[in-house]
């Protein structure tokens, strides 16, 4: 009879290296710094910062997905979100459905058949944190909460980007309250498109546990910052009180139950 050294099998949910977590926080910090600089610059620097902010934010959310949920999750998330966003933007720009009649300018950089490459990455930067929030809030209505949240986020963005020349609308008739340059079809389109994306992601992405050493601090912080910067920026720097009000109220109402859950935890009987 011989004695052999027993080495326990290493857990597949091993802790994340500290330098990777530090990299995640660094990319997130750069994203926020770029957004802070937005109202302080103009011209070509502003254009470059606008584009760079989206790529940095998408990188932060993608890295969080990779560290927290693994490579398979991240690959599916990125491929689905980028493909879906590019497809819905192509359909929308050519048919006027579901957002309305609009056209991108050349100011947002490289385009794929008329759609700036940066646009699908904007979907990535918001879809990841909102999917996390939606899955924590509800089990059966992830698509609805996520779709409403995507629509609420766009209430901050669209009028500002129109003012900066990122794209333009052609419409007559009803407009978004307090945003006369945006057709009412746009938030309706975002609600429908957002629900579609969230339904697909929720179906394809397994609800695996996060890896050891990770949490949702970065996506949570990004959602809170999006609300705060949207209100403060539009109100005090961009002279768009209407956008600050409607975006702040709608996005705030959507975010409130998630913040409540983060602070107090899920209901006892959930």
Confidence (pLDDT) at 16:
85
Tell whether the model's pLDDT for residue 9 goes beyond 90. no
Confidence (pLDDT) at 3:
44
Distance of CA 243 to the CA centre of its chain: 18
pLDDT in tens, 225-270: 999 999 999 999 999 999 999 999 999 999 999 999 998 887 654 4
Confidence (pLDDT) at 210:
67
Confidence (pLDDT) at 213:
66
For all residues of the chain together, what is the average pLDDT?
91
Tell whether the model's pLDDT for residue 48 goes beyond 90. yes
Give the span between the Cα atoms of 174 and 114, in whole angstroms. Answer: 26
Tell whether the model's pLDDT for residue 118 goes beyond 50. yes
Global confidence as pTM: 0.91
Residues 6+ apart with CB under 8 A from 89: 115, 119, 120
120 in Cβ contact with 54 (< 8 Å): no
Q: Mean pLDDT over residues 118-124, rounded? A: 98
Band (150; pLDDT cuts 50, 70, 90): very high
Band (1; pLDDT cuts 50, 70, 90): very low
Tell whether the model's pLDDT for residue 4 goes beyond 60. no
pLDDT in tens, 200-212: 999 999 876 666 6
pLDDT in tens, 61-95: 999 999 999 999 999 999 999 999 999 999 999 99
Tell whether the model's pLDDT for residue 15 goes beyond 80. no
Confidence (pLDDT) at 12:
46
Band (22; pLDDT cuts 50, 70, 90): very high
pLDDT in tens, 186-202: 999 999 999 999 999 99
The 10 Å Cβ neighbour count of residue 139 is 11
Q: What percentage of the chain carries pLDDT values higher than 70?
A: 91
Confidence (pLDDT) at 6:
40
Confidence (pLDDT) at 10:
44
Confidence (pLDDT) at 11:
43
Q: Mean pLDDT over residues 8-30, rounded? A: 80
Cis bond before residue 98 (omega within 30° of 0) = yes
């Amino acid at each position: 009879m011989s004695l052999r050294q027993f080495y326990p099998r290493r857990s597949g949910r091993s802790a994340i290296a500290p330098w990777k977590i530090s990299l995640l926080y660094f990319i997130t910090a750069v994203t926020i710094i770029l957004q802070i600089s937005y109202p302080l610059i103009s011209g070509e620097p502003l254009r470059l910062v606008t584009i760079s902010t989206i790529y940095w934010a998408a990188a932060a959310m993608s890295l969080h997905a990779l560290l927290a949920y693994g490579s398979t999750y991240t690959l599916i998330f990125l491929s689905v979100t980028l493909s879906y966003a590019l497809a819905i933007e192509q359909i929308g720009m050519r048919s006027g459905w579901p957002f309305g009649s609009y056209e991108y300018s050349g100011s947002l950089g490289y385009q794929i058949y008329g759609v700036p490459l940066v646009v699908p990455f904007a979907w990535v930067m918001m879809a990841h944190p909102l999917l996390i929030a939606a899955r924590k809030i509800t089990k059966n209505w992830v698509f609805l909460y996520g779709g409403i949240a995507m629509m609420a986020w766009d209430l901050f963005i669209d009028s500002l980007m129109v003012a900066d020349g990122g794209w333009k609308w052609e419409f007559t008739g009803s407009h978004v309250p307090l945003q006369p340059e945006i057709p009412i079809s746009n938030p309706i389109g975002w609600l429908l498109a957002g629900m579609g994306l969230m339904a697909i992601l929720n179906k394809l992405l397994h609800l695996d546990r996060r890896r050891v050493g990770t949490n949702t601090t970065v996506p949570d912080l990004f959602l809170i910052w999006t609300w705060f910067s949207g209100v403060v920026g539009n109100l005090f720097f961009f002279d768009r009180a209407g956008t600050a009000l409607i975006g702040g109220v709608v996005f705030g109402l959507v975010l409130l139950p998630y913040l409540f859950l983060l602070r107090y935890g899920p209901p006892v009987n959930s």
